[in-house]
Amino acid sequence: MKLTPEYIVGLVDGEGSFTIHVRDPKSFKKVIRRVKVEPRFYLKLIEKDKEILYELKSYFKCGNVYYQPDKRPNHQNCYRYEVVSRANLIDVIIPFFNKNKLRLKSKQTDFALFKRMMKLIMKKAHFTDFGLKNLYELKQQMH
């Protein structure tokens, strides 16, 4: 199957996510994670559909595909295509979705917040208390 931008948009509208983990700046407990922010774009599908994820990796020429086992009853093992490189998010993923508009309002909102947060991250805003607090507040608005 040759992926088209329209197919990718539909797939991401249904199964994709633009997210950024932001450490809570008010958290006083010892935090195991050493990073303050972790942006990522990902898409998760059941195991029998994993080939589509490898095609996405080939299409975007970045990211990785990971096996994600699930032992919960009535759930299947999955695979996850994920892009975490900030350079790839800025240079590949964001331009693709700027050009190829998402259709779902909730996904459009998350993407707009994701772009706004990525700009702040690239300006190193997360290295200041004010910037980290701002990023954390923006994250709370994401779906």
Q: pLDDT of 81-91, one tens digit each? A: 999 999 999 99
64-83 pLDDT per residue, tens: 999 988 778 878 889 999 99
Higher pLDDT, 124 or 28: 124
What's the predicted TM-score (pTM) here? 0.87
- Say what the pLDDT of residue 136 is: 87
Residues spanned by the domain of 125 = 5-139
Mean pLDDT over the full length of the chain: 90
Task: Return the number of other C-beta atoms located less than 10 Å from residue 86's C-beta.
Answer: 15
> Do the Cβ atoms of 135 and 16 come closer than 8 Å?
no
Amino acid 28: pLDDT: 52
Distance in angstroms (rounded) separating the CA atoms of residues 87 and 39: 11
CATH number at residue 74: 3.10.28.10
> What is the predicted pLDDT for the residue at 71?
79
**Number of domain units in the chain:** 1
